[in-house]
Structure 1
Amino acid sequence: MIQINPKNSELKNIIILATGGTIAGTGEEGKTTNYTAGNIDIEVLVSSVRNLDKIANIYGEQIANVDSNDITMNHWLTLANRINELSKQDDVDGFVITHGTDTLEETAYFLDLTVKTDKPVVLTGAMRPSTATSADGPLNLYQSVALAASDLSRGHGAMVVFSDGIYSGRNVQKINTFKTNAFNSIEFGCLGYMRDNIPFFFNKSIKPHTIYSQFDVTGLTELPKVSIAYFHIDADPSIIDYFAQNSEGIVIAGAGSGTFSSNWLEEIRNLETKGIPVVRSSRIGNGIILTDSTIDKYSNCIPSYTLSPPKSRILLTLALTKTKDYSEIKRIFAEY
C-alpha cells in the first residue's frame, strides 16, 4: 500500500516507479556521453521537472537504480506485481515507470502482457543524462505523467512516451543509438502524440493486453528460461544444441522471413521430440513471419508473426508458464 495524501484533491494521483537508466544518469556537465546511468534517485529526478506538481499528485518509489542492461526478469516480476497491487487502490489513478532505453521496449511488452489493470501504465526514459545540455528526460517524464493522469489513457495497455510520441508496449522499438527521437513503431505507427501535457490518440492496439491477457505472474518467483540464437552466414548450428540443454525454449533471429540454413534446420528437427519449442523471428525488424512449409513441417517450429526476437522471447517465456503444448503455443503467437 502507498498512503495517498493528495496536495491537490482536483489532480490525479500518479505513482512513479523508478528503475534507473540514463534519465537518472549523471556525467560531465554538458556532455551526452561517458556518463553513469542510474545515479540519482526518484526524489531528485522528480524535483528536476518543473511544474510536475501542477498536472498530478506524485508519489515515487525506487524499484531499482541500474543501467537497463542490468534489468532482470526479477525486476519485471517486481514491477508487474507492484503495479497489480497498487492498482487495487481506488485512490491510485495511474503509473509511470522510468527506465533505461536499451531494454525499455522489452519491459514495456512484458508489462503489457502481465499487469492486470486498465489504469494507465506509461514507460519513459532519456537518451541524454540529467547533466547534459538539453537533457530530454524532464520533458519525457512530464509528458508521461500527463498521459498517465489523462482519462483518455485508460485501456491502452502499457504505453511508452518518448519525444512527443505515444507508443504501444507491443509495437514500440528503439530505432536509434543516440538521437533523442530514439523510439518508433515502424510500420504500425504511434498511438498518438503528446503536445505539452495534452494527449492526442489516433490509433489503438487490437492485440490482447493487461486485463484481457491470459498471463498472470502473481506468486511466480522465476520464469522459464528462453534463449535467442542469432543466425548469420556460416553460423555454427551447435549453438542450437547448447541452448536446448540450457533453455526451455529457443527463439531464432533468422535471416529474411525468419529463415536459416539446412544444418540449423537439422538441429531443430532433432529437438522435435524433446519438448523444446522453437520460435522463428527475424533480425530484419520489419514485416511478418508466417508459416513456412519447408521449415514449419516440424511441429516445434512456430512463426513469430510481427514480434521482434526479444519480444518473441517474452511471449514464449509467458506461454511456457501456461503450457508446453506446441499447438497451444502456436495459437498464442497467432493471437498475441
Structure 2
Amino acid sequence: MGPGTLPSQGSGRLDFTRYRRSGRPRMTGHELLAALPEIASIARVEVDAGNPHEVAALEEVRKLALRVNEVLRLPEVDGVVFIQGTNTLEETAYFLTLTVRSAKPVVVTGAQRPFTALSSDAQINLLDAFRVAAAPGTSGKGVVVVTNGEINAARDVTKTNTYHVHTFRSRDVGLLGYADADRVVFYRAPTRRHTVESEFEIETIQSLPRVDILYGWSGAQPGLAEAAVGLGAKGLVMAGIGAGAPGNLTPELARIAASGRAVVARSSRVGEGRVLRNDNWEEPGMVAADNLSPQKAAVLLSLALTRTGKPEEIQRFFEEY
C-alpha cells in the first residue's frame, strides 16, 4: 500500500477534507485488515513487508512495479491488491499494466473519504478490491481499478470528480464490470496489449526518461516547450485544445519534433475521443496519442523512450498499448 485517503484517520467522523492535519497516523495494512474481518473469508492476505510504497514520482512507481513483479512470481501468491491515494492512482495503475509480467489479478483501489469518515467509501472499496482480485474472471485482464462498486481497466480509467465517490470512470469506452453485492461480473475485456503481452521489461529499466506535459489554452505563450527541453525533457506531451491542436505552441513544437531533440506526442485536454494521425495539426515527427489522456500518454511515452527515440516506432506503441 501507499499513502492516501483510504487508510487516513480524521479528527472526527465529519472530517472529510483536513484529515492529513488531524495528527492521527494512517492505518497500517494490518490495522485495515483487522477493521474488516470480512476480508478473511475471501482470501488469505499477507501485508507486504515493504509498505508503505511511495508513488508520488514515476521513479517510485518504477520501483513499485519491480516489487509487484517479484511478489507475483511467488507460486503461493494468486494476486495483488494495492492501495494508494486517488490523485495519481490512474497513472500508477497504467504503469503497472504496462510493466507487470503476470496474468494474475492486480487490483488498485483508493478512497475519496478517510477510513474514519461518516459514510466512507474506504471500507467497501477495500473489500471489493479483494473480492475482484479473488474472482476467477479477473485473471488476464491486466491491472484493474476497483472503486464505488465498479471495475475499470487501468488504461481507460480516470478521476473525474474532486471529492465525490463516483469519480473513477472510463468515460466513452465504459467500465469492465461490477462488484455487486451478489457477485463480481464482467461485461468486456481490454483489447490493447498489457501485462504478459507487454514488451516493456521493467527489470532492465534503470531510470525513466523525463517527459513533461504542456497544457494548451488561448493564453499559452511560446517558450514553454523549449524550457522543458532545456531542463532535460526527452519527451513532450501536448495536452492540446480540441482534437489535439498545439495552438500557440505549434511552431515551437514543430521545430523540436523536426530536430529530434525530443519526441512530441499530441494528446487532448478534452477528456474523450481520439487524437488522429495525419490531421490538421500534425507536424512531421509528431506522435498521435490516440485516446490516452495527457497523463497516460506521458506514462507510455516515458516507457517507450526506454526502447527507442524514433517517432514512427513510438507511434506503434500508442497504437498497440
Find the partner of 1:57 among 26, 29, 44.
44
1:42–1:62: 8 Å Cα contact kept in structure 2? no
Residue 155 (str. 1) matches residue 140 (str. 2): yes
Find the partner of 1:135 among 114, 120, 134.
120
Give how far 1:274 is off: 3.2
Alpha-carbon displacement from aligned partner over 1:179-202 (angstroms, at most 9, x marks no partner): 111111001111000013721000
Label 1:260 to 1:293 Cα distance change in 2 as closer, same or farther (>3 A): same
Give how far 1:62 is off: 5.6
Q: Map of 1:37-76 to 2, 5 A cutoff?
A: 39-61=26-48, 63=50, 65=52, 71-76=56-61
Find the partner of 1:87 among 72, 86, 92.
72
Q: Quick one: which amino acid aligns to residue 163 of structure 1?
A: N
Alpha-carbon displacement from aligned partner over 1:11-56 (angstroms, at most 9, x marks no partner): xxxxxxx112000111121121111197222111221213110110
Q: Map of 1:293-312 to 2, 5 A cutoff?
A: 293-299=279-285, 301-312=286-297
Residue 284 (str. 1) matches residue 267 (str. 2): no
For residues 153 and 274 of structure 1, the distance between their equivalents in structure 2, rounded to whole angstroms, comes to: 41
Of stretches 48-57 and 303-312 in structure 1, the one that deviates more from structure 2 is 48-57
Greater than 6 Å deviation, 4+ residue runs: none
The aligned counterpart of 2:251 is 266
5+ residue gaps, structure 1, are 1-17
For residues 116 and 283 of structure 2, the distance between their equivalents in structure 1, rounded to whole angstroms, comes to: 55
Give how far 1:317 is off: 0.3
1:39–1:65: 8 Å Cα contact kept in structure 2? no
Of stretches 207-216 and 38-47 in structure 1, the one that deviates more from structure 2 is 38-47
Residue 29 (str. 1) matches residue 16 (str. 2): no
**3-state SS of paired residue (1:322):** coil
Residue 319 (str. 1) matches residue 304 (str. 2): yes
For residues 234 and 98 of structure 1, the distance between their equivalents in structure 2, rounded to whole angstroms, comes to: 38
Q: Quick one: which amino acid aligns to residue 78 of structure 1?
A: K
**3-state SS of paired residue (2:66):** helix
Give how far 1:65 is off: 4.2
The aligned counterpart of 1:5 is none
TM-score, normalised to structure 1, is 0.90
Give how far 1:249 is off: 0.4
Residue identity (%): 35
Residue 116 (str. 1) matches residue 116 (str. 2): no
Give how far 1:166 is off: 0.4
The aligned counterpart of 1:249 is 235
Residue 225 (str. 1) matches residue 217 (str. 2): no
**3-state SS of paired residue (1:159):** strand
Alpha-carbon displacement from aligned partner over 1:113-158 (angstroms, at most 9, x marks no partner): 0000000000001100011012111111111111111221100000
Give how far 1:293 is off: 4.0
**3-state SS of paired residue (2:47):** strand
Give how far 1:297 is off: 3.2
Instruction: Count residues in correspondence.
Output: 315
Q: Quick one: which amino acid aligns to residue 229 of structure 1?
A: L
1:41–1:62: 8 Å Cα contact kept in structure 2? no
What value does the CA root-mean-square deviation take over the aligned residues?
A: 1.6
Of stretches 116-125 and 263-272 in structure 1, the one that deviates more from structure 2 is 263-272
1:143–1:197: 8 Å Cα contact kept in structure 2? no
For residues 101 and 298 of structure 1, the distance between their equivalents in structure 2, rounded to whole angstroms, comes to: 37
Alpha-carbon displacement from aligned partner over 1:259-317 (angstroms, at most 9, x marks no partner): 122x4111112212133110010111111110244432322x11111000000000100
1:124–1:140: 8 Å Cα contact kept in structure 2? yes
Q: Quick one: which amino acid aligns to residue 20 of structure 1?
A: P
5+ residue gaps, structure 2, are none
Label 1:150 to 1:46 Cα distance change in 2 as closer, same or farther (>3 A): same
Give how far 1:219 is off: 3.9
1:118–1:155: 8 Å Cα contact kept in structure 2? yes
**3-state SS of paired residue (1:250):** strand
1:95–1:121: 8 Å Cα contact kept in structure 2? yes
